[in-house]
Every structure is written in C-alpha cells, then in structure tokens.
Chains A and B, each alone.
Chain A
Amino acid sequence: MLDHCSISHKGGAVLWSRSFTPAARTLAASAQSPVNSLIREALIEGRTSEEKYDKDGYAIKWTFLNEMELIFVVAYQRILQLTYIDDLLEAIKTLFLKMFEPFLTTFVASLHAVSSTTITTAKSLPVGAANWDFRTVFQSWDRVFDQVLKGLEAKAASERSSRLKAPAAAIETPPADDSSVAPTLSSERAVDEQAISRNVAAMKSKMRGGSQRAVGRKGAKNGGYSSGYGTASGNELPNIMFDSSDTPGKKKASKVMRKWGDQAPTESDMASLDFSYTSESTSTTGNQSANWKELVDEASLGVRGRDGSYEVKDWEFTEKGDLVSQTLATVGKQPGKPEKTTMGTLGSMFARLTGGKVLTDEDLKPILATMKEHLMKKNVAKDIADRVCDGVGKNLVGKKIGGFTSIKSSFQEALGASLTQILTPKTSTDVMQAIRTKLASPLSSTSVRSPYTMAFVGVNGVGKSTNLSKVCFWLIQNRLKVLIAACDTFRSGAVEQLRVHVRNLSMLTNDSPDLNRGSVELYEKGYGKDAAGIAKEAIAYAKENEFDVVLIDTAGRMQDNEPLMKALAKLVAINTPDKIIFVGEALVGNEAVDQLTKFDRALRDFSAAGSGGSIKGRGIDGMLVTKWDTVDDKVGAALSMTYVTGQPILFVGCGQTYTDLKQLRVANVVDALLAD
C-alpha cells in the first residue's frame, strides 16, 4: 500500500527508510526522490503548514519531531485514499522517540557543535565506529514499524469492511448511531477522502464506546491484552488483532514476520529491543529506560495471558497493552491531533533535564496571531500570512528555547529565516548573464542565432508597457539591440503608447557618445490581429536582422477571463519565450494570490494542452513589481507573489523615469516586513 517511508534529520541524514517496491527503492535513491521533491519544492519554500504534497502521482505526507529535528515522511500512490497515514506518522513518531531518545539526543548534539572545542560532547561518547553503527541501533525498529503498519492497515481494512457489511449488525451500538453511518454505504465510491476520514472518526468513537465495555470485562481476565475485531455473526473478517508485542516465539508472530520477509524473527524480540537499547545509550541512562522495560515486560505478560483465549470482541487496543498498541490507541483517539499527553510529558521532562523551555502549540498561539496580523498590516495576503506563520509554527513546536529567549523573539527569528528563504531566488536572477549566455551559444542546427525573448504578462493597468520600456532602456544601456513586439492588439492606444516609448528611447540612445551602443525598434501590426502570430513574426524578423532581445508586450487581461487566458497560453506555447514575466502592482493585497495562481495555472494548463499534454506547461518565470515607490515598507506583495509562484522578483519599478528600475535585495524586504 505504501511506497516509501523514511525517518531523517533536517540536516539531510536519513536514519531509517524503507521502500515497499523495487521501483520506489530506485526512485528513493535518486535525486528526484519524493522526499527530495518534498523538501525542495514544499518545505524550503515555507509550505510547511500544508497537509499533503503531491508529486508525480505520489501523495506525500510528513510530520516533524522538532525536539530531535527529525522528519517522518510517508509516500504512497495518490489514487489510494489511505486513511491511516496521519495515524501512522503520529504512531511512528511517538514510538521512535520513545525507543531511541538517548541515541537521538547524542546524534543531534553531534550535528550542533558550537565550536571545534566542544569536542567534549564527542569525547564523552564512547569512542569508536560501533557507536555510530546506525543500522545496529535501529535494527529493532523494522519490526516495530511492521507491527504498527500492519495494525493500522488491518484497522483500516476492518473499518472498510464493516462499512460494507451491515454495520448495524456488526457493531454493538445503539441503533440511533447507525443512521449517520448508513448513508456512507450508498455513496461509498463517491465520497472524498475527507468525508471518509470524517466517517471513520465518527465510527471510531462509536465503536470505542462498545469496546471499552468489552475490554473492561476481558481485561481483568487476561492481563488487559488487546483483542481483535470480530462481528457478532462470526464472519471471517481478516484478523486484525494487533499482536504488537507477541513476537517472542509465537506462531502467529512468525507468520507475520515471514510475510514481510526481510529477516527471520529472532529468538526473542524483547531481547533484541533490550540489546539495542543498552548498546545505544551508554551515555544516557534514566527513567526512560526503566519505563521502556516495564512496558515491554507488561506487554509480554499480556501475551502469555492471552494464549488460548480467542474471544475477539473489538479491534480497539487497550490502555494497558504494549507500547505499540498503546501508542496506536492514543493516536486513534485523537485523529489529526498530535499525541499530546505522551509528547507533552516527554517534552517537559526533556526541558527539566536541560533547562530552557519546550515550545508548545499553546505557547505559540498568541504570537502566531500577532505575527499574522503584523504581516497583513504589511500588505501580505491573508492566506499567505497564515500559511507562512503556520509553517514557522510547525517547525518550532517541540523545539527547546534557551532560558533567556522569549517566545516572541525566537518566533521572529525563525520567521525571518523563513522569509529570507522564501524570498531568496532558487534560480539565477541575473537576466543579463542569461541573455549573454544565450547569445554566445547559437543553436547547433542553425547558423543564425536566435534572440532572447521575454514576454510581459499581467492584469490591466499595472504598468506593463511602461516597465517594459524601462527594461528596454536597461538592455540598451548594456549595448543590446532590442525589438519590441506590440502584441497588445486589444486596448486602443496600446501601440501608440509603445511608439512614443520607442521614440524616446531612440532619442536617448542617439545622444550617447558610445558608438557601440544598443538600439531599439518597434514591431507592430495594428489592432485586432492574433497576438501569438504577431509575436512569431516579430521573433522571425528579429532573427533575420540580428536583434539580441525581443520584448513582447501583451494585452492586460483579468485572470478569470478564460478565452483571453487561453490566448495568452497559446502565445507562450507557440513562441516559447525565454522568460515569462508577470507584471504586478506592489499595491495589490489579497488579490495577488488569485491573480498569480490563476495566471500561472492557466499558462501551465493551456500551454500543456496545446502540446498534447505530453510536455509540462510553462508557468511564470519571474515577476516585475511596479509602483514599488508607493508602498513604503508595506512590501507584502513581494512576499505573496514569491510564495505563490515560487519564482523570484526580477525587477521592481519605482518611479516615472526610464532609470527607475531596480533589483530587490532580499534582506531589505525581510527587514521591512519584520519592522514594527
């Protein structure tokens, strides 16, 4: 069902991973692995607060364990609507921390040397490679993971089948409850994932009501061991009994293990767990170790007591079961919510040991609200302010802050880092370098070199033509021969406006004493004609006459006007400009999100459709933000635009003259956004 699961450190080291198919394994080892895509395209861009990330048919879900800087990732085929992934992530997160906390603490410390003199930390560790034998340390994890996964899969399967078979008969619940469950049966196929999980949650709570009673009875008899789910009618449901700690030499356990087939079950799971624990934690001992052993003992007792008793009443796990089922039970009870109790106590324990404070959701709530408000005052779109701040919060929960740092300052620091990351371009913004590179390397097929083309797109009245002229001026100053293609064949006056600009620019360049200067020409075909065609002709003309750069001016259009958006996509698909530049106003607030999302999507979708869908459509490559001088420090639009597209702001227009074109300095924008 799953394709890949991994547990890794934010610094990049993978502690444990498993691929479930050979294809997934090959993919996981490559640079294009789902985890890498998740990090590069979502996490680094501040999309941490999102629920799910889709890539190449995969759905990827993740969770952070910030106290250990770990990321837990699960990738599965998107068409499978797996309902248990959140539970799985929470369960493995809790268990992994419980089992390996001392080792993880040492490991994280080894990646946070303050100076080369903090060798003390490293020295206090037992020396030798054996200590860092990650495989041995995490050996016991494979089995635990299998158990968790099997348990949750079985649980999900039983939930599915219990919904298919008459639930009223199957579950000992009052009939009143069933009315809400029944409708899901008819619309089974059609319900979306959310609806399914809602129903599941609803059902869980109902079933739990029954289960608790059953367990109460059973628990006294057999040491409180969990039991499977069975229907009263005795249907042969898959045995979803959760035998998590039953591995010590039990028949059923070995069957389970063989199915997974990665290693033969050892003599005793317990022994191996104990072994791994002691071998890894020579430096740290404490309560946790005792706790863990207690739990294991309890669990194995439970197993012994369970022998022979096959009275399956319910799939719910008891409170007194082993560690695995206990954890599962807790995650099951709080669907979608992090497992508070265990994590909370562990967290505070951690804090007490080391001094300082562990940040909780509660701590962050007020500061999150203030900072969202603050960003919105800076004209960041509401949606973006929410997502950015929530993302930062997600990265902070569980983190320990020093005794002298306030929550506010640590949040602001993290926010600053995140904003810097979002605003810093992921591709080069050196347009001049790109132009020179293209001009220096002619296509091998033709001896004629092709010009560098830029298309300027955007909504009406944002200053496309004016700023295109500024870019043109800059290019001319750099001695390039520029052709402007007047492809706004829609708005009356558009062509004339460009004519004026070209005349001005020509005059300016003619005044310059430099003989080897740049120049500009206008390519126009009047109004009403097909813009894509004119652009094509212009590029051909530019090629013949050895122009260096073609700037394509397009008609402004509203993002909701589908025919016009399609026309724009056609222009892009036919002419494949080197850069598609979205021109937007710095004044734009919440609208920014809608504009950019729709422009980007329309360009991608429609230009891909033109090529038969085989080629991925082209989106926006960068932005030019106009009227920058009018917003003072309310520079939020810069953040909104970069966040939505993931693309850089190439230029900002900041005045009325041709020289009023600047590049952005990320640090300045971040400072302005954070300034009070």
Chain B
Amino acid sequence: MASPTPDVISIAAPLSLSSSLIAATAFVLALIAVYVYTRLKSRVKASDILILGASDAGKTAILSSLVYDHALPTHTSLQTNFSVVALPNAKRPWRVVDVPGHPRMRDQFREFLPQAKAVVFVVDVSTVARNGLLVAEHLHQVLHAITSLPPTQPTPLLLLLAHKSDLLTSSATSTAPQVAVTRLTTILERELEKRRVSQANGVGVEGLGEEESEEMGGLECAGAGPFKFAEWDGGEVTIIGSWVDVDRSDKSINEKEKVGTEIQSGLQDLRSWIEQLS
C-alpha cells in the first residue's frame, strides 16, 4: 500500500489544484457579480428624500410628523435622522433623511445626494426676510451640488417648502400658505440673483487656493432675465407652503384635538407631493 502513493499524489495534486482553482475563480466571479449588481442597484435606485435647510427651519418637526404622525418638540439636531415613511397612497416607501442645518454639519448632505430621489429644501418663512442672505447661500450650495452631479446619476427633484406658514397672516386674496410661497419666492430669487450678479461681474473671484478656484455655479437660468426658479436650468422647482403644530406638553387636551386635524392639512401638500413620486 505504500508504493502507489507517489502516483496518487501525482494524479490527485493537479486535479485538486485545478478544481480548487476553478472554485476560487467561480467564487471571485460571483463576488464581482454581486458587487456589480449592488453597485448598479444602488445607483439606479434613488430611494431617499433629503430634507435640507437652515437650522431651526423645521426639518425635524416635519420628519417626526411624517413618521410619528405628530410633530414632536425639537431642538437643534446633532446628527442626521433616517426614517422610512410609507404614506398610504405613495408608490413605495421612501427613506427620509433629515440632515442637520447647522453650518458645521449641513455639508453632510453631499454624501446622500447620489441616492436622492428628491430634495426638500425647508425655509422658515417667518424669518426668511431677515435670514434671506444666509438661506440663499445655503440654497446656492445645494443647487450647485445638484447641477454638478455626474450625468450618470439621476437628478433629484427639488421642492422648496415655505414652512411655518402658520406664523403668517393670510391676506384678503390669498391664504397663509400662498403668502408664504410668494414671500419665499420673492426673497430667495432676489438673494440668489444678487449672488449671481456678484459672481458674473467680470472675472469673478480671483482664485485663492483650491476652494475658490472652482467658481460656484448652479444658478443658470433659461431666460436672459434675473434668476427665476421657474426658469432654473437644473430642473423643475416646486414651491409649496406647509406648517406643523408642535405637540408641546403644556397644551391642553382640547388644543390637542385640534392639532390632529391641523397636521393633516398643514403638511397635506407635502404628502401629496411625496405620494406622486415614483
């Protein structure tokens, strides 16, 4: 029984070697396939709705209304919230991503932009007259990021939310949300136009290192006139009004009853907009 050993080895070794080689190759191929598949899938499937906007705009309040059916009291967010929102008439559940608006953290949105189906930019209309400049700066960065996405990636839809419209008074001809939409549009178009003009003035900012050498675009419009959301080159912009009623613990029960119905109407347009996304 000792003599055949070399033979066995000489025959078996190449066999096992080649078979293991085949197995290994197959395994690697399978891995690559899985990798490519997931990559493709993740690229094609834009399943997120980003909620962006300045700090204190009301992003987390909106998220909690969508997820928990009532707006929780909130404070400045320290981290991003990711929640699944499945609206009854929506085509599919969406993951809603609420990125903190603090200037030190808001840039994190870039990370999520590639998977974004839609971007909801929330503006607190009760303070936008005062903060217009800062809000426009932030919005400009978002517009720039959207227009600079590589062509292989789907461009997210953009919704501007004129939020906290409950703090405005309705006029004779229009409801508070309508007033809110008008105010947002007027102020932000004016501020963005200022930014466009100051950049378009001749040479623009003389380069200072890497950061500023790339001129920040994203404000191109179809028409020749001043900046208009309706004519924005980056895609269609929807603007709607909204509000939530924050469920503070010091409210009486009666008020609470009222809250339930108000939340429905305050975010109704936003819900409908999400529901038509596909």
Contact between B98 and A29 (Cβ–Cβ < 8 Å)?
A: no
Interface residues on A, range: 35 or more
What chain A residues lie within 8 Å of B205 (beta carbons)? Answer: 432, 478
B75 contacts A by Cβ under 8 Å: yes
Contact between A40 and B212 (Cβ–Cβ < 8 Å)?
A: no
A551 contacts B by Cβ under 8 Å: no
B6 contacts A by Cβ under 8 Å: no
B130 contacts A by Cβ under 8 Å: no
What chain A residues lie within 8 Å of B247 (beta carbons)? Answer: 134-135
B225 contacts A by Cβ under 8 Å: no
What chain A residues lie within 8 Å of B102 (beta carbons)? Answer: 40, 44, 426
What chain B residues lie within 8 Å of A11 (beta carbons)? Answer: 60, 77-81, 98
Contact between B75 and A119 (Cβ–Cβ < 8 Å)?
A: no
| CB < 8 Å neighbour of B73 from A14, A112, A430, A474 | A14
What chain A residues lie within 8 Å of B249 (beta carbons)? Answer: 16-18, 135
Contact between B48 and A116 (Cβ–Cβ < 8 Å)?
A: yes
Question: Which single residue of chain B is at the shortest CB-CB distance from A48?
Answer: B78
Contact between B75 and A8 (Cβ–Cβ < 8 Å)?
A: yes
Q: In whole angstroms, what is the CA distance A69 to B77 when docked?
A: 12
Q: In whole angstroms, what is the CA distance A39 to B102 when docked?
A: 10
What chain A residues lie within 8 Å of B134 (beta carbons)? Answer: 428
Residues A29 and B48 in contact in the complex (CB < 8 Å), given A44-B78, A437-B133 = no
Measured CB to CB, the closest approach of chain A to B197, in angstroms, equals 9
Q: In whole angstroms, what is the CA distance A664 to B67 when docked?
A: 39
Mask for B234-254, Cβ within 8 A of A = 1, else 0?
A: 000000000000011110000
Mask for A4-43, Cβ within 8 A of B = 1, else 0?
A: 0010101111111111000001000101010110011001
Q: In whole angstroms, what is the CA distance A430 to B100 when docked?
A: 21
Contact between A111 and B107 (Cβ–Cβ < 8 Å)?
A: no
B72 contacts A by Cβ under 8 Å: yes
Residues A113 and B103 in contact in the complex (CB < 8 Å), given A11-B60, A12-B74 = no
A285 contacts B by Cβ under 8 Å: no
What chain B residues lie within 8 Å of A662 (beta carbons)? Answer: 208-210
Contact between B74 and A663 (Cβ–Cβ < 8 Å)?
A: no
Task: Label chain A's interface by main secondary structure.
Answer: mixed
Residues A424 and B104 in contact in the complex (CB < 8 Å), given A119-B86, A433-B195, A663-B209 = yes
Contact between B76 and A36 (Cβ–Cβ < 8 Å)?
A: yes
| CB < 8 Å neighbour of A664 from B75, B84, B211 | B211
Q: In whole angstroms, what is the CA distance A515 to B137 when docked?
A: 31
Q: In whole angstroms, what is the CA distance A129 to B263 when docked?
A: 13
Question: Which single residue of chain B is at the shortest CB-CB distance from A135?
Answer: B249
Contact between B208 and A13 (Cβ–Cβ < 8 Å)?
A: no
Contact between A113 and B206 (Cβ–Cβ < 8 Å)?
A: no
Q: In whole angstroms, what is the CA distance A13 to B63 when docked?
A: 10
What chain B residues lie within 8 Å of A114 (beta carbons)? Answer: 82
A81 contacts B by Cβ under 8 Å: no
Mask for A70-100, Cβ within 8 A of B = 1, else 0?
A: 0100000000000000000000000000000
Residues A115 and B209 in contact in the complex (CB < 8 Å), given A134-B72, A426-B103 = no
Measured CB to CB, the closest approach of chain B to A352, in angstroms, equals 26
A122 contacts B by Cβ under 8 Å: yes
Measured CB to CB, the closest approach of chain B to A542, in angstroms, equals 21
Residues A134 and B104 in contact in the complex (CB < 8 Å), given A11-B60, A432-B205, A664-B211 = no
Q: Which of B203, B209, B212 has the most CB of A within 10 A?
A: B209
Contact between A12 and B195 (Cβ–Cβ < 8 Å)?
A: no
| CB < 8 Å neighbour of B84 from A12, A36, A116 | A116
Question: Which single residue of chain B is at the shortest CB-CB distance from A432?
Answer: B205
A180 contacts B by Cβ under 8 Å: no
Measured CB to CB, the closest approach of chain A to B163, in angstroms, equals 14
Contact between B67 and A110 (Cβ–Cβ < 8 Å)?
A: yes
What chain A residues lie within 8 Å of B109 (beta carbons)? Answer: none
Q: In whole angstroms, what is the CA distance A121 to B82 when docked?
A: 13
A427 contacts B by Cβ under 8 Å: yes
Mask for B74-106, Cβ within 8 A of A = 1, else 0?
A: 111111111110100000111100101011110
Q: In whole angstroms, what is the CA distance A39 to B47 when docked?
A: 30
What chain B residues lie within 8 Å of A40 (beta carbons)? Answer: 55, 76, 102
Measured CB to CB, the closest approach of chain A to B100, in angstroms, equals 8
What chain B residues lie within 8 Å of A36 (beta carbons)? Answer: 56, 75-76
Q: In whole angstroms, what is the CA distance A11 to B95 when docked?
A: 16
What chain A residues lie within 8 Å of B148 (beta carbons)? Answer: none
Residues A474 and B70 in contact in the complex (CB < 8 Å), given A116-B94, A440-B194 = no
Contact between A17 and B73 (Cβ–Cβ < 8 Å)?
A: yes
B64 contacts A by Cβ under 8 Å: yes
Q: In whole angstroms, what is the CA distance A665 to B213 when docked?
A: 12
Question: Which single residue of chain B is at the shortest CB-CB distance from A40?
Answer: B76
CB contacts under 8 Å to B, within A452-509, are 474, 477-479
Q: In whole angstroms, what is the CA distance A440 to B201 when docked?
A: 13
What chain B residues lie within 8 Å of A661 (beta carbons)? Answer: 208-209
B69 contacts A by Cβ under 8 Å: yes
Q: In whole angstroms, what is the CA distance A33 to B105 when docked?
A: 20
Residues A14 and B79 in contact in the complex (CB < 8 Å), given A45-B104, A119-B84, A663-B211 = no
B202 contacts A by Cβ under 8 Å: yes
Measured CB to CB, the closest approach of chain B to A14, in angstroms, equals 4
Contact between A13 and B60 (Cβ–Cβ < 8 Å)?
A: yes
Q: In whole angstroms, what is the CA distance A456 to B60 when docked?
A: 40
Q: In whole angstroms, what is the CA distance A116 to B118 when docked?
A: 14
Which 10 A-B pairs rank lowest in CB-CB distance, beginning with the nearest? A662-B209, A12-B77, A132-B68, A12-B60, A477-B206, A116-B95, A11-B81, A116-B47, A129-B69, A14-B73
Chain A residues engaging chain B, CB cutoff 8 angstroms? 6, 8, 10-19, 25, 29, 31, 33, 35-36, 39-40, 43-45, 69, 71, 110-119, 121-122, 129, 132, 134-135, 421-422, 424-428, 430, 432-433, 436-437, 440, 474, 477-479, 516, 651-652, 661-665
Q: Can you name 28 A-B pairs with beta carbons within 8 Å?
A: A12-B100, A15-B72, A19-B250, A29-B248, A31-B56, A39-B75, A40-B55, A45-B104, A71-B78, A111-B82, A113-B82, A115-B47, A119-B84, A119-B93, A122-B86, A132-B68, A135-B247, A135-B249, A426-B102, A428-B134, A433-B195, A478-B203, A651-B208, A652-B209, A662-B208, A662-B209, A663-B212, A664-B211
